[in-house]
Amino acid sequence: MPDIKIGCVADDFTGASDIASFFKTAGMETLLINELPEPDLFISEETDCIVIALKTRTMETEEAVRQSMEAFNWLNEIGAEKLYFKYCSTFDSTSKGNIGPVTDAVLETFDIPYTVLCPSLPVNGRTVKDGILYVNGIPLHESHMKDHPLTPMKKSAIAELMKGQGKYQCSIIDRETLYGNSDSFVKLLSEKEPPFYLIPDYYEEDHGIQIAKVLKDCRFFTGGSGLGGALAQILVDQKTKGETIESHPVYTEGKGLILAGSCSAITLQQIADFIDKGYPSYRIDPKKLISGEENAEHIWYWIENQTKTPLIYSSASAKEVEDNQQYGRERVALAIEKLLSGLAAAAVEAGRTRIIVAGGETSGAVTKALGFETFYISKSLAPGVPVMIPLKESTVRLVLKSGNFGQIDFFDRAVKMTKKEN
């Protein structure tokens, strides 16, 4: 049986690949599993970390908790040393969201006295100071994330965000308290009535390592990939670091396809950059899709006639998304997911080997349609965006990008870096 140092459950697939890339960079041999694992799943002895990708971020709460606990129970049964609940670095959950209920279920099920709420990811501009979550130095509720079409973010204080979701008390821990007198901090923990949540300052890169060291005895962590990567660094066997990275190269032969469903401001800029560079693009019109005027066969014919890597996208501004809801919000979302995931499956069936996807919901739909259950994690094309290789199809490279991740020229970079000739 392998020695699993970290067992992680993520609430969407891009979040899973995000944190898996940080575990891999730290030197852990990481296995990513799409949705709930089969009981008889084979796990190699070299595996240090397992990440289970669910699609529970915007799911009905009771079902989100049920699926999450099934995954955490499985990780506990195989002996995972630490448990980790991965959610977005912008804590994108409304007052009725699932971060609190899932966190509470883990605390109660495994009788864990406390956990950490730590969405920080400084490398991507997500930081926490005095309990306030910032995006590139701007409080979350004042950032571009405030008008997200699915999870509008109207508060920046993590304790306030948890009031509508969690049962227990939050304690904001500033740097002086956390990294100062260790005896005083231990006393502080002992005086609190469990379970409870800790919200530590984390606004510089090295803060993650400090948090992981101070809280090394904590069994359950929650947050973004920043703390996950730091935790992995203090747990990993240093002599294994980097040994298997080159065995899973980022490049492969074959044609590519880009699919974008994210409506984030960053993804919209990346799409514009890709088009400006002369790549072919096809924008999905929700009205035509719902009416049947536009369909997968028509778009696939267009794809096959392109000489350069094409982009298919439904991404739109918040105003355009709102306008499209006249056709039914769920109806439009499901139709787009079905279309994009169907195109991904058709692409792989036709021999395309490089599938690049933007957006959490879209990525979840694509991976489900492709039918690949487990993935090796290779190098990252941007922080939190690794190249993934299906265990059952080693020629395929799958790149899943959270809407807000990646450089402005990310799509161009991804096309070039995954192509074997380069």
Per-domain residue ranges of the chain: 6-240, 248-417
Residues 55, 47: contact at Cβ < 8 Å?
Answer: no
Q: Is 6-240's fold the same as 248-417's?
A: no
The number of beta carbons lying within 10 Å of the beta carbon of residue 205 is: 14
116: pLDDT strictly greater than 70: yes
Q: Are strands 132-135 and 138-139 parallel, antiparallel or unpaired?
A: antiparallel
Quick one: average pLDDT of 130-151?
78
Quick: pLDDT tens for 182-235.
Answer: 667 777 788 888 999 999 999 999 999 999 988 988 999 999 999 999 999 999
pLDDT band at residue 242 using 50, 70 and 90 as cut-offs: very low
Q: Are strands 126-129 and 132-135 parallel, antiparallel or unpaired?
A: antiparallel
Quick one: average pLDDT of 35-54?
86
The three-state (H, E, C) secondary structure of 329-349, written as one string: HHHHHHHHHHHHHHHHHHHHH
| Cross-strand bridge partners of residue 356 | 258, 399
Task: For the domain made up of 6-240, give the CATH fold.
Answer: Rossmann fold (3.40.50)
Report which residue type is found at 226: G
Rg (CA), the chain: 21
Please report, for residues 35, 50, 116, the alpha-carbon distance to residue 317 in angstroms, rounded to integers and kept in the order given.
30, 36, 34
Environment class of residue 59 by beta-carbon count within 10 Å: exposed (0-12), middle (13-18) or buried (19+)?
A: middle
Strands annotated E in 137-208: 138-139, 170-173, 196-200
Residues 248-417, CATH architecture = 3-Layer(aba) Sandwich (3.40)
Quick: pLDDT tens for 399-418.
Answer: 999 888 899 999 999 999 99
The number of beta carbons lying within 10 Å of the beta carbon of residue 26 is: 21
**Within a 13 Å sphere around the CA of 289, how many CA atoms are in the beta-carbon half?**
22
Structure tokens belonging to residue 270: 């990346």
pLDDT band at residue 129 using 50, 70 and 90 as cut-offs: very high
Quick one: average pLDDT of 48-54?
94
Q: Can you give the pLDDT at residue 244? A: 43
Quick: pLDDT tens for 56-91.
Answer: 988 899 999 999 999 999 999 999 999 999 998 778
The number of beta carbons lying within 10 Å of the beta carbon of residue 351 is: 10
Cis peptide before 139 (omega within 30 of 0): no
Helix runs in 153-206, H state only: 158-163, 175-179, 182-190
Identify which has the larger pLDDT, 18 or 188. 18
3-state class (DSSP) for residue 218: coil
236: pLDDT strictly greater than 90: no
Q: Can you give the pLDDT at residue 166? A: 93
156: pLDDT strictly greater than 80: yes
pLDDT band at residue 159 using 50, 70 and 90 as cut-offs: very high
Q: Can you give the pLDDT at residue 238? A: 47
240: pLDDT strictly greater than 60: no
- DSSP per position, 88-106: -TT----TT-SHHHHHHHH
**Within a 13 Å sphere around the CA of 163, how many CA atoms are in the beta-carbon half?**
7
Identify which has the larger pLDDT, 160 or 35. 160
237: pLDDT strictly greater than 80: no
Q: Can you give the pLDDT at residue 239? A: 40
